Amino acid sequence: MTAKKIDGRAMAKEVREEVKVSVAKRIAAGKPKPGLATVLVGSDPASEVYVGMKKRMCENLGMNSFAHTLEADASQEEVEALVSKLNADPAVNGILVQLPLPDHLDEEKILQAVDITKDIDGFHPINIGRLAQKGRESLFVPCTPNGCLVMLDKSGVDLEGANAVVLGRSNIVGMPMALLLVKRNATVTICHSRTKNLPEICAEADILIAAVGRAEMVKKEWVKPGAVVIDVGTHRIDDDTKEKGYYLTGDVAFDEVSEVADAVSPSPGGVGPMTIAMLMRNTLRAAEIQQD
Ligand code: NAP
């Protein structure tokens, strides 16, 4: 068996096209351009790359972007003051605080300071709290897990009653992913670093979401024949034999897992592009919530 490839790149393109059309319609109707503000504290190279990608994507889709960078030693008060200013700015519909923040800052307080109607990352405690409650809906859902869900939906995977295993319980991926799957009536098991018999538990999954942050940890034996596997992991592995001196991979050993799974998302080319597309969709949604 050779698994179908869940093409996140192509799916993300579809989402971006939908967003672009909706943005153009809003502008044609005389509404302001949706605007995304990013807040970067310090000069972490990976974070700078992510912020740059988000800025370019906004421009491509006809949205405004406002990039704010503070010094690495910015105080809690400075960061919160910037967030307050952006909360009050009508040109800013969505606010993204680039994580991780430097250790001296209180991340929870800063995320809590973001106006809930501008919380396009979905990390405000009220949005996360609503995700965890039956019968309640968050205004925004975190982009990476929501992207995984859209990939499952676009692949025609039936979530109702399915056994889903989420490998990882972080605030930004694993936990909201598990909550989203429960909301969609899957039966969910959450695994983490203290889980016993990890391969056996993963091998029970109809749907396996790998967000563990360990390169190619999920092997063929961990996957039930016919399962659907979504690889959230992103790793850059140094390799002198490659032209660039490195290669990119995920949390899943893609080739061998493809021998048993029904469908697998690759990394790169899977969840990554979908995450940014979801961010753009949330920014548009923020503009709709605030202006319509
Ligand atoms: P994280 O905060 O480091 O969380 C990793 C999770 O995996 C934790 O819950 C941890 O358990 C668990 N874990 C670690 N080692 C384990 C092991 N040996 N056995 C079992 N569980 C283990 O990572 P994250 O932020 O969720 O990110 C996960 C991966 O996704 C990373 O590769 C990251 O780069 C990638 N990512 C990609 C995107 C994207 O857009 N494509 C976005 C975000 C993240 P404990 O809770 O017990 O520590």
Q: Is the pLDDT of residue 1 over 90?
A: no
**231: its two tokens:** 């690889």
Give me ligand 1 centre to Cα 214, in Å. Answer: 7
Question: Would you say residue 78 has pLDDT above 90?
Answer: yes
**Average pLDDT of the segment spanning 180-205:** 98
CA of 89 to the centre of ligand 1 (A): 34
Q: Which residues are catalytic?
A: 54, 98, 121
> Distances from the Cα of 288 to the Cαs of 94, 164, 270, 292, in angstroms?
11, 33, 28, 5
Mean pLDDT, all residues of the chain: 97
pLDDT score for 234: 96
Instruction: Express each pLDDT in 103-162 by its tens digit.
Output: 999 999 999 999 999 999 999 999 999 999 999 999 999 999 999 999 999 999 999 999
Report pLDDT for 262: 98
Q: Which tens digit of pLDDT belongs to each residue from 17-63?
A: 999 999 999 999 999 999 999 999 999 999 999 999 999 999 999 99
What region, left, alpha or beta, does residue 219 occupy, with left being phi > 0 and alpha being psi -120 to 50 degrees?
A: beta
pLDDT score at 25: 98
* Nearest atom within ligand 1 for CA of residue 275: 40
Pocket of ligand 1 (CB under 6 A): 144, 168-170, 172-174, 191-195, 198, 211-214, 232-234, 251, 271-272, 275
Top mutation candidate among 123, 167, 169, 170 for ligand 1, by most atoms within 8 Å of CB: 170
In percent, how much of the chain has pLDDT > 70? 100
Q: What are the structure tokens assigned to 174, written together?
A: 């694993």
CA-169 nearest atom, ligand 1? 9
Q: How far is CA 185 from the centre of its chain?
A: 21
Which residues pair with residue 190 across a beta bridge? 166
- Atom 23, ligand 1: which residue's CA is nearest? 213
